[in-house]
Structure 1
Amino acid sequence: MISMIRIDDRLVHGQVAVKWSKQLSVSRIIVVSDAIAKNEIQVSALKMAAPAGVKVVVLGVEKATAIINDPRSKDMKILVVTNDPKNVEELLPLLEQKDLFLNMANYGRIGGALSDKEKITETVYISPADKEVIQQIFAMGYDFQYQPLPDDSPQSLKQLIGG
């Protein structure tokens, strides 16, 4: 069962590997990205960043969906992490689980000029294309919480964007 889906440019790092995985008591972190799943060096680095007792797998959208929807995953606590809102937009309609906690933090500062992006918070910058994808996710009935760390007060991304 998915405990949280997070969009974060850094994928598996201190905030995710230490703070969120402990807060959510996850046993698996699934990094969802077709591109990253094909890059053996990135896959190895992400697996090495895993906290003790947590298994990290890196999968494309289709394979991740199959694993998450597998009945054997129902008893697991899974943290899904991706670095692209498009992956979340593709993943959501394919998931059997519909009560999902979506989180976004540390997104948009890597790749592309910040001047071409809208600053939403200190750690979230979105391009016009990102905004369209995020609006599509809102249209599916979901919202993201902007909450970098578990102890931070959550804020609705929909309200922050004005969507």
Structure 2
Amino acid sequence: MISMARVDDRLIHGQVAVKWCKELAVTRIIVASDAIAKNPLQVAALKAAAPEGVKAAVVSIEKAVSLLLDSRSQSMKILLISNDPRDLLAVFEGIEERPVLDIANYGRIGGNLASKQKLSESVYLTEDDKDVIRKIAQMGVEIIHQALPGDARRDFMSLMG
């Protein structure tokens, strides 16, 4: 079962590996990205960044859907992560489960910040990003902005306006 989905440019890092995994009692992290799954160096680094006792899988969108549809995933507490909302849209299109989606750190890495709307100190969106996020919301996914477990949970669609 997916405990939470998260869009985070940094993927598995301190906040995810330590705070969110502990808060959610996660047993598995699935990083869903076709591009990252093809990069052996990134795959190895992300797997190494997972906290002790939590298995990490860095896989393609198709493989992520397959893993999430496997009946064995129902007994797990999974944190689903990508650095692009388009990847999570594709995953959600392939599964029935509708976990909360936390868009916490996105849009600051790569690209021109001047061409993006600043929603918070850690989230910058293009118009295309907003369209993708609206599609996810229309699927019945609750979308929030909460960098850390102790932070206030904010409705992301209200932030987008």
* Shorter-chain TM band: over 0.9
Distance of 2:93 and 2:38 partners within structure 1 = 23
Deviation at 1:59, TM superposition (A): 0.7
Deviation at 1:141, TM superposition (A): 2.3
User: Secondary structure at the residue paired with 1:6?
Assistant: strand
Which residue of structure 1 aligns with residue 123 of structure 2? Answer: 124
Which residue of structure 2 aligns with residue 93 of structure 1? Answer: 93
After TM superposition, which residue ranges in structure 1, 4 or more long, deviate above 4 angstroms?
none
Point out where structure 2 has 5 or more consecutive residues left out of the alignment. Answer: none
Residues matched between the structures, number: 161
1:52 matches 2:55:
no
Which residue of structure 1 aligns with residue 107 of structure 2? Answer: 108
Deviation at 1:118, TM superposition (A): 0.3
Deviation at 1:94, TM superposition (A): 1.2
- TM-score normalised by length of structure 1: 0.96
Which residue of structure 1 aligns with residue 133 of structure 2? Answer: 134
Point out where structure 1 has 5 or more consecutive residues left out of the alignment. Answer: none
Which residue of structure 2 aligns with residue 27 of structure 1? Answer: 27
Deviation at 1:151, TM superposition (A): 0.4
Deviation at 1:16, TM superposition (A): 0.4
Deviation at 1:91, TM superposition (A): 1.0
Q: How does 1:65-80 map to 2 (within 5 A)?
A: 65-80=65-80
Residue identity over aligned pairs, in percent, reads 53
Distance of 1:118 and 1:96 partners within structure 2 = 31
User: Secondary structure at the residue paired with 1:105?
Assistant: strand
Distance of 1:73 and 1:86 partners within structure 2 = 22
CA displacement 1:62-90 (0-9 Å, x = unmatched): 10111111001110000000000101111
User: Secondary structure at the residue paired with 2:75?
Assistant: coil
